[in-house]
Structure 1
């Protein structure tokens, strides 16, 4: 096999990516690179459905549990680190597998993201203080003056995106728009995209069961252990933010659990909306393992 191949296994939360990715990795005798933005954090094992010790023993995994909650991390850093892992692993393997539900991280590897400068700690702190003291509305008005093009398309309710654009403006003296070329980057390997999908009722039932299992496995205790860090971006995540409402005394526990299920279902719909835009994805039901393998073998031989 002359060309290296990255199999990208994607689909909504709860669809069954984990078990199939393990079997595919065993079939191709290779490893798995995670594209889950929350599985990177070592303290979020249960709530992110991170690979278990048994699964890690079955197949080597990369970019799982490598960060602390307080670590700053971006999609640009992920792109750089994941590509470095792939470069090293492709020296030993002809096929590697990328799997996870973080849409932006998948795109970072398959398409690349723009080379936007990293923000220094001083600028980040200044902008955070301004947001807390002046409010979002004033920062939006400022963005309208400094970068009117981005102002027209950004979600003005998303303070993180507004702040980030202003950080770029102040750090570089250029507009955030000027860094957003959105040109697809060439990769030194072939990419084959496999999407997993289920009937909506079937998927929702699996999501509900998955939340119940997480609670049985100790999700509440995990949430309680990270509760002191609840304001961090790493914990702005379904499963934790609902349980924080319970720990705050705002919600009863059964209601918080139902909200986790509801928000997980909503997130699954967002994922599918994102993925459906990509015409390169070949869709299968997770039970169609033989069809998936036949398809992969055919594509890899080309």
Structure 2
């Protein structure tokens, strides 16, 4: 079925107007962008990106940002909307998204949120605990030490300084570990002490959909995507940003693997293999995150018609 043939019934005049946010999530390279555009066109609506790196205008190839042709098909938000100099986190995203949705729901009955950053999705749909600010000098010191000494140092530091957080932390996720270390050094208390996990009310309903692929197929798509990124000029993109590698936004898979190469400590082939490996690890963490969420409905990316039927059934009940 072609998108142009789809007819989405409008029940807004026959039943109370129900605002619906459809979340389309899943691991990197699972096909979220293409499917999200297809669905948004079917419902004649817009897309809010839930990707913590595609929002940075300086990052393009390495974060698989939608290209100009894709962006022209459907209005997108939170794409190239910020600078790597800006402080962007789950709280910032939630505020951005809620303000945007308030405007979009005045025009559309349904809006899509597409992306793989689980914490951002959770912050917008359920709320996020208020956390004290972290001084820049503490964050920068931890980031620089992580750059110099790597993940093993970061894991030891968190384990020693915040053993409570360490017990429940994503131990292979440097961003989460650095965040925890920032808190213990800033406040003297574990980040877990600030977590209440209380859901906040929203004036729209949420339908959570996640994409799933056989692991071997997903990993092959990841490997191919990295090859394409390098062919498209990823090395030059990262080289231009290399002087800014101390910024948090550049502690990102696809970028951080190049730094040793630029400093003459590894080979180009090793960079490619490491990006592929780290991207596979990241995808695995994403899958683990979304599998832990109880309210996601899982589909194969090619199962467009059943996904469409699921959405129609949900908004018409």
Q: By how many angstroms is 1:143 displaced?
A: 5.5
Q: State the secondary structure of the residue aligned to 2:55.
A: coil
Equivalent of residue 254 in structure 2, options 216, 235, 239? 239
1:25 aligned to 2:9? no
| Corresponding position of 1:42 | 57
Match of 1:115 in 2: 130
Structure 1: gaps (5+ residues): none
Q: 1:276 to 1:153 in 2, by over 3 A?
A: closer
Residues 208, 261 of structure 1: 8 Å contact kept: yes
Aligned to 1:14: 29
Q: Which stretch shifts more, 155-164 or 193-202?
A: 155-164
Q: Tell me the equivalent position of 2:231.
A: 216
- Which residue of structure 2 lines up, in the alignment, with residue 293 of structure 1? 308
Deviation at 1:204, TM superposition (A): 1.0
**Residue 77 of structure 2 corresponds to residue 59 of structure 1:** no
Hey, what does 2:98 align to over in structure 1?
Answer: 83
Q: Aligned-pair distance for 1:160? A: 3.5
Seen in structure 2, the aligned counterparts of structure 1 residues 214 and 111 have a Cα distance that, compared at 3 Å, is: same
For normalisation by structure 2, the TM-score amounts to 0.84
Q: Residue 200 of structure 1: CA displacement? A: 1.1
Aligned length in residues: 291
Cα RMSD after superposing both structures: 2.6
Correspondence 1:124 to 2:136: yes
Q: Compared with structure 1, are the counterparts of its residues 165 and 64 closer, same or farther at alpha carbon in structure 2 (3 Å cutoff)? A: farther
**1:152 Cα deviation (Å)?**
6.2
- Stretches of structure 2 that go unaligned for 5 or more consecutive residues are 1-11, 146-152
CA contact (8 A) 1:154 1:162 kept: no
1:79-134 deviation digits (Å, cap 9, x = unpaired): 11111111111111110000111111111112211022334xxx33267559979x
* Preserved contact between residue 24 and residue 211 of structure 2 (Cα < 8 Å): yes
Deviation at 1:140, TM superposition (A): 6.3
Cα separation, 2, equivalents of 1:297 and 1:81: 27
The alpha-carbon distance between structure 1 residues 268 and 217, as it changes in their structure 2 partners (threshold 3 A), is same
Whether 2:203 is the aligned partner of 1:188: answer yes
- Normalising by structure 1, we get a TM-score of 0.88
CA distance in 2, matches of 1:249, 1:67: 32
Q: Distance in 1 between the 2:247 and 2:302 partners? A: 38
> Quick one: distance in 2 between partners of 1:262 and 1:136?
19
Is 1:164 matched with 2:183?
yes
What is the DSSP-based 3-state SS (H/G/I as helix, E as strand, rest coil) of the residue aligned with 1:51?
coil
What is the rounded CA distance, in whole Å, between the counterparts of 1:117 and 1:136 in structure 2? 21
